[in-house]
Amino acid sequence: MPEEVVGKVTDFFARPVVAGIELTTALKLGDKIHIKGHTTDLELTVDSMQINNVDVEQAKAGDLIGVKVSERVRRGDTVYKVTD
């Protein structure tokens, strides 16, 4: 499946398990993403996204978003959008 870069992980919070991501292109709920780094390899569907602790359905390039993740991700990991 083709993938396009949508951003980078800027932060990780253990409780709740959330990745802080700075977007370089738009992202919306329901999009599939792939977070990849030296020790990270995680695919998930975006089912929860926040900007400044407020739930949003979509975000644009330049936004700093929080996305719930199922495991630890690391600062600097690349975030890809998976397209069919």
Q: What is the pLDDT of residue 45?
A: 97
Peptide bond into 2 cis (omega under 30): no
What are the C-alpha distances in Å from 33 to residues 44, 60, 61? Answer: 6, 15, 15
Q: Torsion angle, CA of 28/34/38/40, rounded to 10 degrees?
A: 90
* pLDDT computed for residue 3 by the predictor: 93
pLDDT band for position 84 (cuts 50, 70, 90)? confident
Residue 9 contacts residue 41 (beta carbons within 8 Å): no
CATH of 3-82, one of 3.40.50.150, 2.40.50.1020, 2.40.30.10, 2.40.37.10: 2.40.30.10
pLDDT digits (tens, 9 = 90+) for 25-67: 999 999 999 999 999 999 999 999 999 999 999 999 999 999 9
> How confident is residue 70, by pLDDT bands cut at 50, 70 and 90?
very high
Residue 2: is its pLDDT beyond 90?
no
